[in-house]
Amino acid sequence: MKPYRHTRITFTIGPATESEANLEAIIKAGANVVRLNMAHADHAWVRQIVERVRLVSKRMGVDLAIMMDVKGPEIRTGALKQSINLTVGQLVDVTGASDAKQDGDKVLITSNYPPIIRSVPVGGIVLIDNGLIQLRVLEQKGDRLCCKVEQPGSMGSRRHINLPGVKIELPALTDKDREDIKVGCEVGIDYYALSFVREESDVHSLRRLLLELHSKAQIIAKIEDQSAIEHLASIIDASDALMVARGDLGIEIPYETLPSVQRRAVAMSIAARKPVIVATHMLESMITNPVPTRAEVTDVSNAVLELADSVMLSGETTTGKHPIRCVEVMSKIAMATEQDLPKKLSEEQPNDTPKVKLLRSAASLAQDLGSTGIIAFTRNGDVPRSLSALRAVGCPIFAFSEDIQVHRRMGLLWGVTPFFIKFSPQADENITAALKHLRDGGHCKPGQVLVIVTNVILGPQVIDSIQLRAVPSLDDSKAK
């Protein structure tokens, strides 16, 4: 079997990667999923980019999954004509009303969030500009919070506000999000990443909208604040996948707890058989530098060791100087790290069904045979997803589907290589076609034995089965 990488790579498309030439290069480098960041995109661009990704993917014979990351509700400071320099110990007022009056010479910081006055208690924290500026609340007044600057800085216009530990009273989807999602459904987006998920009801809101729009796209819940951590189990249950979005999450919770939160989120997702992405700042220095820092190498490696389905690039591939190299570096780190992964299946769960137990047997057999591949046929993606969650190190999962959207979505799954074929009514014909496809594509060698997970029809019954089949030689094919 040719060298294989279990960990998937998600990249964010932007000016540095949106040309056809760079898309081809980044696919060759090993990218599996492309992310559209709707915080910096308009609808004309979305239509153009999705068409281009599909065109290049088809030409290269690799169908990338496309994720739309919707912006979600945000709390921001008001508009300023020029930046304000805030110093340690300075007293400032924060308000949720744009028409509030300045109190003497005291700086007034407006915001687009009226509940901020009652939401943040005395002693609470207001973080501005991704945590670069920190304010401590001294007093709640009728129309403002009286605060003291604890961490100084220069505050520009419309800066992002974080309120650690505060339950935010905002809808899961803004009007902009709804319009973006409608366009996404028109062009066939495969995944929607929902920002600032606080509880499972947020996921249900998006699910209802997708049903109204007749979309089969799946939902990735982004974990970005303390509320999401508190409701993590129910959020995972309600969603189709998880993203540990470490940017805002690292601001909203004590940064020293971030590694343990990441490990727990990844482990819980695997146990629930849901794919999980680790994102943000993975190769941040490579936005400008041609090589990563040693700390970044270790960070990517740790995500691989935790068995995350995918690691993600953001600014590195949107505006960075070395976008293709970033994917190459990430791929090299993942492949090297995977050599040290123990060949041990994920733990059996109380909710394992008989079907999952059968798949566990198939994965165990593949490892016992000397880390051979597993072939799975699917119409909805459930079998490859469950096989993927078993984390059978060294055993690539070759997943065949005749549903193009299911086929594309499987590109996010750990260890899964998806193939699009039209199924025959005869299971044996599908198995033979799959084996020849893998042989002709250089994925397997003639004579190699693979584990097959398929259905067998016995009279009126359809029975799940595990088979062993050898990849046919070219002579066998010619003889037939």
Domain ranges of the chain: 8-73+172-338, 84-162, 354-479
**How many Å apart are CA 325 and CA 37, to the nearest integer?**
21
Q: Is the pLDDT of residue 60 over 50?
A: yes
Please calculate the CA angle 266-259-279 and round it to the nearest 5 degrees.
Answer: 60
The torsion region of residue 350 among left (phi > 0), alpha (psi -120 to 50) and beta comes to: alpha
**What pLDDT sits at residue 410?**
97
Q: Looking at 133-137, 166-170, 308-312, 372-376, which range is the least confident one?
A: 166-170
Mean pLDDT, the chain, rounded, equals 93
Q: Give the tens place of pLDDT for each residue, 352-362.
A: 889 999 999 99
- Range 426-455 average pLDDT: 92
Q: Is the pLDDT of residue 435 over 90?
A: yes
Spatial contact of 199 and 234, defined as CB atoms under 8 Å apart: yes
15 Cβ neighbours under 8 A, 6+ residues apart: 318, 319
- Range 309-325 average pLDDT: 97
**How many Å apart are CA 93 and CA 37, to the nearest integer?**
33
Q: Is the pLDDT of residue 420 over 60?
A: yes
**What pLDDT sits at residue 479?**
46
**pLDDT over 90 for what percent of the chain?**
86
**What pLDDT sits at residue 351?**
77
Task: Specify the fold of 84-162.
Answer: M1 Pyruvate Kinase; Domain 3 (2.40.33)
- Range 211-223 average pLDDT: 97
- Range 44-53 average pLDDT: 98
Q: Is the pLDDT of residue 187 over 70?
A: yes
**What pLDDT sits at residue 458?**
60
**What pLDDT sits at residue 478?**
53
Closest CA to 51 of 13, 9, 16: 13
Active site residues: 35, 76, 222, 280
Q: pLDDT higher for 403 or 371? A: 403
**What pLDDT sits at residue 456?**
66
**Confidence category of residue 29, pLDDT binned at 50, 70, 90:** very high
Arch. (CATH architecture) of 8-73+172-338: Alpha-Beta Barrel (3.20)
Task: Specify the fold of 354-479.
Answer: Pyruvate Kinase; Chain: A, domain 1 (3.40.1380)
